[in-house]
Structure 1
């Protein structure tokens, strides 16, 4: 995956380090069903396929870094343009998505809903 301006693709270990202080904007761009099955703690689900994806991004602070992931890295990679359009300048994309995260044996949570 090529690096675009303002976008940093990071592996699971580095991503985990970056989000470890807990006070970050962590966005899971997968479907609600995928999110419920397993997600990174504190992640907010904003479905890339939802019609109002761009509008939902307006609810986040574009002056702060944003950390995004999907299943394998493809959807979050595609969503970067939307984040940039919404004014985000510091975007960290989890390389390999949650599949890479899980294979690195990092923790995930499930939702009951």
Structure 2
């Protein structure tokens, strides 16, 4: 009887093992975690707002790669290290969430989306202009 069910049991274990390997996912972080992660650190910090929004003010050391120009977006992100964490922000968090999902699809392993975005940042931190 054991021999009869052994292949089924092995298949079940194999399926469970595959399912246990969790795919990368977007981590949505608040301002406290965001500050700890990016201030004074060598990270891939990306402002995905338009260049006009970026010119009006940005977070120190942020690089501007606008999501509105998808060809440039894809080209610029293809140059970044997919194994190194990427921190994204926009004005309020909507566009950065959309961009985060695109990065996962491009193969980035560690994607962090700053909840509240630049709006939350500018309410609590001195900004560059």
TM-score higher than 0.5 here? yes
Whether 1:27 and 2:46 are equivalent positions in the alignment is yes
**Which consecutive residues of structure 1, in runs of 5 or more, have no partner in the other structure?**
none
- 1:47 corresponds to: 66
Q: How many residues align?
A: 106
Tell me the CA shift for residue 5 of structure 1: 4.3
Distance 1:48 1:85 in 2: 15
**Which consecutive residues of structure 2, in runs of 5 or more, have no partner in the other structure?**
1-22
- 2:109 corresponds to: 89
TM-score norm. by structure 1 comes to 0.87
Q: Which has the higher contact order (CA 8 A, sep 6+)?
A: 1
Higher-helix-fraction structure: 2
TM-score norm. by structure 2 comes to 0.77
Q: Which consecutive segments of 4 or more residues in structure 1 shift more than 4 A?
A: none
